[in-house]
Chains A and B, each alone.
Chain A
């Protein structure tokens, strides 16, 4: 990545005065950029304080947490052990992982199939289907909790992984992200495959999907993270402590630790850990995904 500094190469015929001016501006800009770096590093460190403080506190024994100091007299992992032993956090991990994986997988598969039909096939009512799905972008899941709860209650699906995973699959925005990507692919590619007698499904599976790894991974990572972090719906759908997702579990036990701050922080860190890993592994993909699609949870 280039930075903004050099007034670049001036034409040969430029007067020496222009060179002098350029040199001054160049120096000023470089100094300015160095100040920017200093300020930004300070801000970044401030931004990291809450997380660092949480880690620091979690490594203290509970008794030490009433002293506000970074220094730890007796560092220990006891709080982490206590959380794993005394709460259902391992179940919550499983629940979060299963429901988020189903949601992410389902969104990618159903969304890309629908987008492929909208992008490449000719059929009646195509425009109607298109607008019908577009409406979905406008409806936040949060306004649907009441009817959704009754609907799933009436078919006895509450307190199952399905009740959390299934409603998160039909993500209208994913269809449009895939469609946008498919529209940008040269038609000759899949037309050649179709001419060779491949079915639509085979073309989709063998020709088109392998070309959209970047968009598949962006959609998959995002739906996984959103689903993992969703609180409102899983809070209503999962009341069995063994089936709760990580955010619901943490929100529910919050306050039961009293002054055992080290335990509280340990539970927060354990809850954060999987997503920190996802972030570290897919940092570039996540950032490119936002930049390319403007996705927002």
Chain B
């Protein structure tokens, strides 16, 4: 699922256009219906419909292996999820993963972008190195890192022992597994934030650096006084997009640890997957999905409020580019 800043900001000030025939407002109802139909039909079938269906299901004892909604359960599914330690644990794992990944993914991306901004040549090389992993499928990333983390045979252990540390049991130790998954994720998705920051850096007027240099500011002061404050809006955007993306984690855990060891890395999406498709408790899984959706929604709402306040700036920045 995607998200954007400018798009949402620019949608508000949209005066209704029309052919320039003053005094005779013309309605394009039929054409509009035809243009909207293909999208709206698929949208209702595959987004809105399932969303409502899921909401209804969450109030029933629906089962994957039996037809129909079956008996009405009221709020029982919700009560059960909220009282289930498995649900809370998986929600906590997802949040823990978000806490572990968001700071490095924001800070390192910022540092890398500031460094790259000061290097005139070889842009393509840095983009290749940092961004290429982002376009790889999670399964490819997982296979490569499973091998790197292989006890005694993996490169990660070799690197750690070569600097005199003891190799942790990367994915097999409950205390380490989530950290290892976070390292993999930082490697995998940092490039996206890096590119967002590079774009933000382009917006800073050269003259500000020149002026500060004339005032005798060294490079370190320039970064602290000019670059980082002026990147504030980009940082707000990167942080919230990153939090939302991290909350939706599923792939890494599913492939690399299958939620283990001892369920210590089972994310909330995998919990939903397990109860819905392994235990066949569809109604209950739908209720858990709704609760998870509310968490993501609350954070998205914060993001919308943040960007709304900045909408003028974003709209100006977006220009004509898509």
Contacts and interface: CB of A to CB of B under 8 A. Distances in A.
**Do A and B make up one complex?**
yes
Interface of A: 1-4, 6-8, 10, 18, 21-22, 25-26, 28-29, 32-33, 36-37, 39-41, 43-45, 47-51, 53-54, 57, 65-66, 68, 106, 109-111, 113-114, 116-124, 126, 129-130, 132-151, 166-167, 169-181, 183-185, 187, 191, 194-195, 199-201, 204, 212, 214-215, 218-219, 222, 225-226, 228-229, 231-232, 236, 246-251, 254, 261, 264-265, 267-269, 271-272, 275-276, 278-279, 283, 286-297
7 contacts: A138-B297, A144-B289, A149-B276, A173-B2, A187-B17, A289-B322, A291-B196
Interface of B: 1-8, 10-11, 14, 16-20, 25-29, 31-33, 35-36, 38-40, 42-43, 45-51, 53-54, 57, 64, 112, 114-120, 122-133, 135-140, 142-148, 150, 153-155, 158, 187, 192, 195-196, 198-199, 202, 206, 209-210, 213-214, 216-220, 222, 237, 241, 244-245, 248, 250-251, 254-255, 269, 272-273, 276-277, 282, 285-286, 289-290, 292-293, 296-297, 300, 318-322
Given A4-B118, A176-B4, A106 B42 contact: yes
Contacts of A41: 122
Indicate the member of B39, B49, B219 with the most A CB atoms within 10 Å.
Answer: B39
B46 A232 contact: no
A169 to B, nearest CB: 5
Contacts of A170: 39, 42-43, 45-47
A218 B201 CA distance: 21
A98 to B, nearest CB: 16
A166 B45 CA distance: 9
A83 B126 CA distance: 31
Given A139-B51, A295-B4, A296-B245, A191 B19 contact: yes
B7 A26 contact: no
A279 B129 CA distance: 12
B39 A175 contact: yes
B195 A291 contact: yes
Top 10 nearest A-B pairs (CB, nearest first) are A215-B322, A291-B199, A44-B129, A117-B35, A250-B139, A176-B7, A147-B54, A114-B39, A170-B43, A32-B219
Contacts of B196: 290-291, 294
B119 A144 contact: no
Contacts of B38: 109-110, 113-114
Given A68-B155, A251-B254, A122 B133 contact: no
B194 to A, nearest CB: 10
A293 B322 contact: yes
